[in-house]
Structure 1
Amino acid sequence: MTSPSPVPSPIPPGWPHCGHGAIPEDPVGCRGIHTPGYIACLAHLADADRDVYLASLTPGAYIDHRGTPFTDPLLDALLYALRDPATGHPRLGMANFQSATFDGIALFQSVTFESEAWFMSATFRGGARFGQATFHDKAHFEWVTFHGNAHFGWATFHDEAHFGWATFQSDTVFLGATFHDKARFGLATFQSDDTSFRSTIFHDAVFTEATFRGAEFGEAIFQGSAEFELAIFQRGAWLESATFRGDAVFRGATFQGKAEFGEAIFQRGAWLESATFQGDAGFRGATFQGDAGFESATFQGVARFGWATFHRSASFGSATFESNARFEFVTFQSGAWFEAVTFQGDAGFRAVKFQDDATFEQADFERSVTLGPLVCTGRVKLSGALFGGPVTLSFAARRLECRRTRWSSTAELRLRYATVDFSHAVFEYPLTIAAEPTPFVLPGGQPVAERTLAHAPDARVRLASLRGVDAAQLVLADVDLSRCLFTGTVHLDQIRLEGSCSFATVPPGTHWRCGRPIRFTQRHTLAEEHHWRVSQPTAVRGWDVTVFGAGHVGPKQLEPVYRALRKALEDGKNEPGAADFYYGEMEMRRHDRTGSTRAERGLLHGYWMLSGYSLRASRALGWLAAAMLVTIVLLMGLGLPQDSPKQEATGTVPPGGGKVTFEIDKEDPRNPSANRFSGERFEKALNTTLNSVVFRSSGQDLTTTGTYVEMTSRVLEPVLLGLAVLAVRNRVKR
Structure 2
Amino acid sequence: MTPAEHDYTGRTFGAADFRDRVFDTPAIFTDCVFTERPDFSGAVFKARVFFTRAVFERGVDFHETTFEKFANFEDVAVTGDARFTGAVFETGLLLEHAEIDGVLRLDRVQFHETRLMGPLRAKEIDFRLVVFHRRARLEFVTGLVRCERASFYGGVQFQLDGADIILKDSELGPASRVATYTAERERYGRPARRPRLVTVSGTDVATLSISRADLSACKLMHAHNLDLLRVRTDDAFGLTPRRLRLARREVIGDEVRWRAEHGGGRRARERWRPPVDWPDVEAPQLAGEVVKTYRALRKGREDSGDGPGAADFYYGEMEMRRLGSGRLSREQWRNRSLRGWTAATGEYVLLSLYWLVSGYGLRAWRSFTALAVVVALAAAGFMTWGFPAKVKMDYGDSFRFTLRAATSLLRGTEAQLTPTGEWIELVLRFLGPVLLGLGVLAVRGRVRR
CA distance in 2, matches of 1:479, 1:687: 56
CA distance in 1, matches of 2:279, 2:289: 16
Q: Which residue of 2 aligns with 1:584?
A: 316
Specify the alignment match of 1:522 in structure 2: 248
279 and 359 in structure 1: CA distance in 2 versus 1, 3 angstrom threshold = same
Q: CA deviation at 1:561?
A: 0.7
> What's the offset of the Cα at 1:708?
3.0
CA distance in 2, matches of 1:425, 1:520: 40
CA separation of 1:500 and 1:301: change in aligned 2, threshold 3 A: farther
Q: Is the CA contact 1:285–1:308 (under 8 Å) kept in the aligned structure 2?
A: yes
Secondary structure of 1:358's partner? strand
Q: Which one-letter code corresponds to 2:258 in the other structure?
A: W
Q: Give me the whole-angstrom Cα distance separating, in 2, the residues matched to 1:706 and 1:329.
A: 87
1:179-233 CA deviation, whole Å, 9 max, x = no partner?
Answer: xxxxxxxxxxxxxxxxxxxxxxxxxxxxxxxxxxxxxxxxxxxxxxxxxxxxxx2
Q: Secondary structure at the match of 1:421?
A: strand
Contact kept? 2:36, 2:57, Cα under 8 Å: yes
What's the CA shift for 1:503?
2.0
1:355 paired to 2:101: yes
User: What is the one-letter code of the residue matched to 1:698?
Assistant: G
- What corresponds to 2:377 in structure 1? 630
- SS of the counterpart of 1:412? strand
CA distance in 2, matches of 1:332, 1:690: 80
Which structure dedicates a bigger proportion of its chain to helix? Answer: 2
Shift of residue 499, structure 1, vs aligned partner: 2.2
1:104 corresponding residue in structure 2 = none
Unaligned runs of 5+ in 1: 1-232, 239-258, 442-446, 511-518, 643-669
Q: 2:89 aligns with which of 325, 330, 343?
A: 343
- Indicate if the aligned counterparts of 2:375 and 2:406 stay in contact, CA closer than 8 A: no
Q: Map 1:178-577 onto structure 2 (within 5 A).
A: 233=1, 235-238=2-5, 259-266=6-13, 268-376=14-122, 378-436=123-181, 438-440=182-184, 447-449=186-188, 459-509=193-243, 522-536=248-262, 538-539=265-266, 540=268, 541-545=270-274, 548-577=280-309
1:692 deviates by 2.1
1:271 partner SS: coil
> Following the alignment from structure 2 to structure 1, what is the Cα–Cα distance between the partners of residues 375 and 180?
51
Q: Counterparts of 2:407 and 2:7 in 1: how far apart (Å)?
A: 89
Question: In terms of Rg, which structure is larger?
Answer: 1
- Aligned-partner Cα distance in 2 for 1:632–1:261: 96
- Give the conservation status (yes or no) of the 8 Å contact 2:156–2:173: no
How many pairs are equivalent?
427
Secondary structure at the aligned position of 1:484 is classed as: coil
2:255 counterpart letter in structure 1: E
Structure 2 counterpart of 1:344, which letter? E
| TM-score between the two structures when normalised by the length of structure 1 | 0.55
How many angstroms apart in 2 are the aligned matches of 1:298 and 1:334? Answer: 23
For residues 374 and 727 of structure 1, what CA distance do their matches in structure 2 show? 49
Structure 1 Cα separation of the partners of residues 130 and 36 of structure 2: 27
Deviation at 1:620, TM superposition (A): 1.3
Contact 1:508–1:520 under 8 Å retained in 2: no
CA–CA separation in structure 2 for the residues paired with 1:695 and 1:611: 21
How has the CA–CA distance of structure 1 residues 277 and 485 changed in structure 2, closer, same or farther, with 3 Å as cutoff?
same
Cα contact 1:476–1:501 (8 A) shared by 2: no
Report the AA paired with residue 4 of structure 2: A
The corresponding residue for 1:73 is none
Tell me the alpha carbon deviations over residues 645-692 of structure 1, each in whole angstroms, 9 at most, x when there is no partner. xxxxxxxxxxxxxxxxxxxxxxxxx354xxx53xxx504532541452
User: Quick check: 1:396–1:450 contact (8 Å CA) kept in 2?
Assistant: no
Counterpart code for 1:448: R
SS of the aligned residue for 2:271 comes to coil
CA distance in 2: counterparts of 1:379 and 1:520, whole angstroms: 42
State the 1:694 CA deviation.
3.7
Contact 1:615 1:727 in 2 (8 A): yes
Match of 1:716 in 2: 431
What is the distance in 1 between the residues matched to 2:30 and 2:401?
Answer: 90
Question: What SS class does the counterpart of residue 86 from structure 2 fall into?
Answer: coil
Question: CA 1:702/1:688 → structure 2, altered by over 3 Å: closer, same or farther?
Answer: farther
Q: Give the counterpart letter for 1:276 in structure 2.
A: V
CA distance in 1, matches of 2:63, 2:308: 50
- Is 1:299–1:320's contact at 8 Å kept on the other side of the alignment? yes
**Residue-by-residue CA offset, 1:406-452 (whole Å, 9 max, x unaligned):** 1111211111100001111112323111123x3427xxxxx33257x
Q: CA RMSD in A?
A: 2.3
Question: Which among 411, 429, 436 is matched to residue 697 of structure 1?
Answer: 411
Q: Which residue of 2 aligns with 1:682?
A: 396
Matched letter for residue 497 of structure 1: V
Q: 2: CA distance between counterparts of 1:505 and 1:547?
A: 17
Alpha-carbon displacement from aligned partner over 1:347-377 (angstroms, at most 9, x marks no partner): 121211222211101111011331111122x
Distance 2:303 2:17 in 1: 56
**Cα–Cα, structure 1 residues 551 and 701, in superposed 2: closer, same or farther, change >3 Å?**
closer
Q: Give the 5 Å matches for 1:29-178.
A: none
Structure 1 residue 626, shift from structure 2 partner: 0.9
Identify which of structures 1 and 2 has the higher relative contact order when contacts are C-alpha pairs closer than 8 Å and 6+ apart.
Answer: 2
DSSP-derived class of the 2:58 partner: coil
Cα shift at 1:591: 2.8
Deviations 1:477-512 (CA, angstroms, capped at 9, x unpaired): 1211111111111111111111235223332225xx
Contact 1:641 1:701 in 2 (8 A): no
Residues 504 and 373 of structure 1: CA distance in aligned 2, closer, same or farther (over 3 Å)? same
Gaps of 5+ in 2: 329-339
Query: Which of 433, 437, 444 is the aligned partner of 1:729?
Result: 444
Taking the aligned partners of 1:411 and 1:623, their CA distance within structure 2 comes to 51
Alpha-carbon distance in structure 2 between the residues aligned to 1:289 and 1:262: 15
**Displacement after TM superposition at 1:271 (Å):** 2.1
Residues in 2 aligned to 1:590 and 1:299: alpha-carbon distance in whole angstroms: 62
Which letter does structure 2 place at the counterpart of 1:530? Answer: V
CA–CA distance in structure 2, aligned partners of residues 494 and 485 of structure 1: 16
Change (3 A) 1:507 1:388: same
Which amino acid in the other structure matches residue 411 of structure 2? S
1:506-541 per-position Cα deviation (integer Å, ceiling 9, x unaligned): 32225xxxxxxxx69522222222222222351422
